[in-house]
Each structure stands twice: as structure tokens, then as C-alpha cells.
Amino acid sequence: MTTPDTTATVDLPLAFDNRFAGLPPAFYTHLQSTPVPAPYLVGFSDDAAATIGLSRAALDDPAVLDVFSGNRTATGSRPLAAVYSGHQFGVWAGQLGDGRAITLGDVAAADGSGRIELQLKGSGKTPYSRGGDGRAVLRSSIREFLCSEAMAALGIPTTRALMVTGSDMRVLRESVETAAVVTRAAPSFIRFGSFEHWYYNQRHDELKVLADTVLAQFFPQLLQQSNPYQALLTEVTRRTAHLMAQWQAVGFMHGVMNTDNMSILGLTLDYGPFGFMEAFDSRHICNHTDQQGRYSYAMQPRIGQWNCFALGQALLPLIGSVEATEAALAGFEAIYDQRHAELMRAKLGLATVQAGDDALIDALFAILQANHVDFTLFFRRLGQLQLNNIGADAPLRDLVIDRPAFDAWAGQYRQRLRAEGSQDPARALAMNAVNPKYVLRNYLAQTAIERAAEKDFSELARLQAILRRPFDEQPEHQRYAELPPDWAAGLEVSCSS
């Protein structure tokens, strides 16, 4: 095979620019991706592509696949890898950066909301690769692709994934796997660690340039405030608190909440060893590498807050005082608690706020914990509860081993529902709109990955289509909503990707 010339440009139906390249040169390195042999399409998201006005038909031109495999460069794209630093597992890790991601540039959002950056993940080494090979394996790329789109469909802020391309090129992890490239899309991939980078290098001029750029591009309304940097921290703290509440409400666990994986826009970013809660255990650790459980389900909100403090530290020279920085951070707990309580009430179908709600919710979580109840199934079935028909509880009750505990709680719950005049059909409708029937269970992803490794991408497409409509019944796909099979218990996900 002749190596494609990645410097020769090709016209795409996308008008590329690269505003990140407008930052001073210290922020990034311009470079070309490293081509992969004979790329092929693995998955494509019509929904994500529509956000930039691209359709699947564009793939009829093989140049499109080449560009999104890193084998050719689109006109107007000035590819670059960005530098950042971060705290990993609570410890300052120093310089990191896009070690295997290359930002191609940005294109117009189809809805006129601004620009959207396109980034290739797994497209080869960069000056920030440290010891890594700059590649991503098919397995982790499919996981990122599926989960980005699943989260978007759940209404949770996230980076998107346009497509995955694969290549038979071999990549060594714990075993030999094959390479893939994910095209990610987001208004920005700037991280908390992007700010920490300049703070810890004592380069406050660059810190200011970054903050001013982020304010101007994404938070222009904050520029009117007396201290825009404090306002920025307040807003990022708010968004992060909301994001944590949303993760908890659907049982999403990120797995690697290092500050370099925290989006300044409050998006879910950098999908690695994530997982959705199945048998409920608040101490569950989805990342096999995280032995201390720093990023367990129960810890996520606190770590989200910790990460905001790390960002606050980095912004301190711009904000000007510790007091003003603390004031910006102070809102986290109250904002999180309120959002979390709102989401929990919605999950239980409670339309009003009443004294005792917290106790009712806590009592339910104690039952879920003690009985390791499947999180998604329980809440979905809870929506089918009928006020005056205890017999109809069976499918729900069957999920709980301690039936007397369930019956006692269900009695209190019915009383609470009656107290607000709740009606079964309306409540079921409202609960089905917030309690997903379908989430990306690890074993479902695993099945799609195993088929894809054999070049059968139909299961991936099917799963993707199901997860696009997580709240819809889709009776024809019932088996995707059921308890995981026994073999799924042995699945482990690590940082290796």
C-alpha cells in the first residue's frame, strides 16, 4: 500500500476553519494525522452528523471516509493537537495534552448556534503522546461512539460522535487488537486541565488569553459582570453540578474523572471505562484500574466538586482573591442537591415537593443497595405501579429479594402519591419520559464489539438505533431491556483503550 499524502487537501461539503489555531502557538502543535491502512466505515450517527449538516450520503465520496480516518486533509482544516495538564486520581500529573487526538478544525452548526469542532481520536502520535502509540482500539472507539450518542439521546450534555472508522492495523494492548478512529464533535474540547496547565507553569498571560477566549466564545453574557472570571467559575461550577446530578439519575459512571477529562462547557467528555449501573451498589467502581474507588458512583458528585476546586485554584490569579473564588465555588452543593432532588422526584413520578420526600427516596435507595436491584429496570417498572392494584406490583417486586421491605416502602409510596392526587396513566407517561428503558449495558456494547471485530456492523447499528430512543417502549427490542446474562458479570473495563 502506498502511504496516503495527508498534506494534499480535498474538498468536502463542509467549510472548515480553525479558531483554536487563533490562540498563541504555545497552546498547540500543528501536525498531520498518521494514516491507517485501508480504512472502512464501522458506524455512523445520522443525528450527530445532522448537527453539522452532513448526511450519510456524503460518504458516497470516498474522500469523506479518508478525511475522518486521518488519511487526507480537508480544505480549510489546519489540524492540531492541544496541550493541557491535569490532576489524575487526585495527584498533579503535569503536562498531558492530546496524545492521540487531533482537532481538524471547526465547521458551522446546522442550527446556527455557532461553530462545532471536529476531532479525530486515535489518529496517531502527537508531541503529547508521552509513551503512547497515539492509537485507539476498535473496542474503546465503539464504546465511545455508542455512549456519546446514547447520552445525547438521554438529554445529558455530551460531546458527540459522528462516526467510527476501522482499519486492520494491529494495536497492542493487553492483547493484540485493531485500530479505529472516532470523529468527535463539540463546540469545544477545552478542559479544566487546559487552565491548570498555564496556572502550574506560572504563565498567567496565557491563562488570561485562554479565559478571555472561552468567555468571548461561549459565555459572552458573562463579560458584562464585574468579575467575568469569577462569573466563569460560577457558571462552570453550576454546569458541573447539574451534570453530576444527571449522571447519578441515570446511573452513569464516568470512571476517569481526572481534571483533564472535565469539559469547561459542562459536557460529558472522554469516554473510557464508563458504565451504567446495573445491580445497584453505590460503591460500584466501573474502572477496573481505580482500586481505591475514587470514581465510584457514590463519589462522583464530590469529585465533580473537587475538580471545580482545582479549576478555581487555576483561575485564582485572574479572579483576584481567595474569597471571590470560594464564593464562586460555594454554590456547588446546593445546586447539586436541588437538581438531584428534582431528578429523583421525577424518577418517582412525584409532581409536588413535600416534607418527607428525602426520607422516601433514601429508603428506596437503601432497598436498592441491600438487594442489588437492577437500577434501570426498577425505575422503568416503577412507572407501571398502579395505586389501587397491589397485585400488579409483581414484575417490580420480583426485582427485590426482600419482599417485605419492598411492600412496606411501596405502601408509603402509594400514600405519598395519593396525597398529591396522582393518577396512574399520567404518572406512567411522565415517568417513562425520564426513566430510560434502554441504556448502554456493558454486555450489549461487548456483543456489538465482538461482531464488529468480525466485520459485521449490523449489531452496532441495531444497538445504536435502540439507544437513540431510550424512553420508547420498542417492544420488538424487549430483550435489550432485560437483566444482563450471567456471562456479563465477568466483564471488566480498564483504562486501557
By annotation, the residues acting in catalysis are 260
Q: Is 53 in the site for ligand AMP (CB under 6 A)?
A: no
Quick one: which of 397, 492, 401, 408 has its CA closest to 443?
A: 492
Q: Which residue is nearest to Mg ion (CB)?
A: 270
Rounded Cα distance, 156 and 246, in Å: 7
For the segment 242-261, give every residue that binds Mg ion (CB under 5 A): 261
Residue of the chain from 99, 317, 331, 484 that contacts ligand AMP (CB under 6 A): 99
Pick one of Mg ion, ligand AMP, none as the site partner of residue 392 (Cβ within 5 to 8 A by kind): none
Q: Is 268 or 432 the residue whose CB approaches Mg ion more closely? A: 268
Nearest distance in Å: CB 351, ligand AMP: 40
Q: Is 124 or 187 the residue whose CB approaches ligand AMP more closely? A: 124
Residue of the chain from 97, 275, 304, 349 that contacts ligand AMP (CB under 6 A): 97
Pick one of Mg ion, ligand AMP, none as the site partner of residue 99 (Cβ within 5 to 8 A by kind): ligand AMP
Residue of the chain from 16, 35, 51, 100 that contacts ligand AMP (CB under 6 A): 100
Distances (CA, A) of 146 to 139, 149, 441, 465, 468: 11, 5, 11, 10, 10
Q: Do the beta carbons of residue 30 and residue 21 sit within 8 Å?
A: yes
Size of the site for ligand AMP (CB under 6 A): 16
Q: Which cell numbers in the block locate residue 301?
A: 458528585
Nearest distance in Å: CB 14, ligand AMP: 25
Residue type at 42? V
Give the number of other Cβ atoms within 10 Å of residue 95's Cβ.
14
Rounded Cα distance, 177 and 172, in Å: 6
Nearest distance in Å: CB 157, Mg ion: 17
Pick one of Mg ion, ligand AMP, none as the site partner of residue 135 (Cβ within 5 to 8 A by kind): ligand AMP
Run of H or E residues at 182: strand 176-186
Distances (CA, A) of 435 to 243, 270, 278, 343, 399: 17, 24, 14, 10, 16
Residue of the chain from 74, 117, 118, 135 that contacts ligand AMP (CB under 6 A): 135
Per-residue contact flags (x/-) with ligand AMP for residues 265 to 304, judged by CB under 6 A: -----x-x--------------------------------
Rounded Cα distance, 115 and 17, in Å: 9
Q: Which cell numbers in the block locate residue 255?
A: 470512571
Residue of the chain from 14, 49, 64, 96 that contacts ligand AMP (CB under 6 A): 96
For the segment 227-266, give every residue that binds ligand AMP (CB under 6 A): 256, 261
Please classify residue 494 by burial: count the beta carbons closer than 10 Å to its beta carbon, then call 0-12 exposed, 13-18 middle and 19+ buried.
middle
Rounded Cα distance, 97 and 129, in Å: 8
Applying CB under 5 A, the residues found at the interface with Mg ion are 261, 270
Site residues for ligand AMP per CB under 6 A? 96-100, 128-129, 132-135, 256, 261, 270, 272, 495
